[in-house]
Amino acid sequence: MGDILRRNTRQRQAILEVLRGMTSHPTAAELYNAVRKRLPRISLGTVYRNLEVLARLGLLRKLEFGGTETRFDGDLQEHYHVRCVECGRVADLHDLPFDPSDLRVEGLGGYRILGHHLEYVGVCPACGTRMRSDGSSRSAAPGDSADQMVE
């Protein structure tokens, strides 16, 4: 909390680049293994720390839905996901019928749709009143290149 400037480390760059090169919405561990091919001495802790920072900077997205592990997405465009209850894999849904109860999604990618989750995120009245003193906001410049890493 209360973060100020960020530095452009090799590991941070690598993590973001590798994530962007993947379409699989990897978990932290999966990403760790992928990045390790480029930076063999990177630690899992560093991956976690950077994923957190990069998410705060808005340079990637955390997918904290079903399943136990958090998954990460380097695609910043607004889009939704389908998660397979069997294998846990997550796929993209770019063309979404906006009525979530409309299961026409059937067709999309051949998934057998079982249901959906829709959750709004916000600040409740009680918390909204309390002074906001931490950095719990989102948003960031998609004009990235991971250069101006300022929060």
Partner DNA sequence: CTAATTGCAAATGATTTGCAAAATT
Partner DNA sequence: AATTTTGCAAATCATTTGCAATTAG
Residues lying near DNA in the complex (CB under 7 A) are found at: 3-12, 27-29, 39, 41-46, 48-50, 52-53, 68-70, 149
Q: How far is the CB of 139 from a copy of itself (least distance, A)?
A: 9
Residue 6 binds which one of a copy of itself, DNA, none, with CB within 5 to 8 A depending on kind? Answer: DNA
Q: Is 145 exposed, middle or buried (0-12, 13-18, 19+ CB in 10 A)?
A: exposed
Residue 150 binds which one of DNA, a copy of itself, none, with CB within 5 to 8 A depending on kind? Answer: none
Q: Does 128 bind a copy of itself (CB under 8 A)?
A: yes
CA torsion 140→142→146→151, rounded to 10°? -10
Q: From residue 90, give the alpha-carbon distance in Å to each of 23, 35, 76, 93, 98.
A: 9, 20, 16, 10, 19
Residues 6+ away with beta carbon under 8 Å from 83: 65, 66, 67, 89, 90, 91
Q: How far is the CB of 91 from a copy of itself (least distance, A)?
A: 7
Q: Which residues bind a copy of itself (CB under 8 A)?
A: 63-67, 78, 80-87, 89, 91, 93, 96, 98-101, 105, 109-128, 130, 136-138
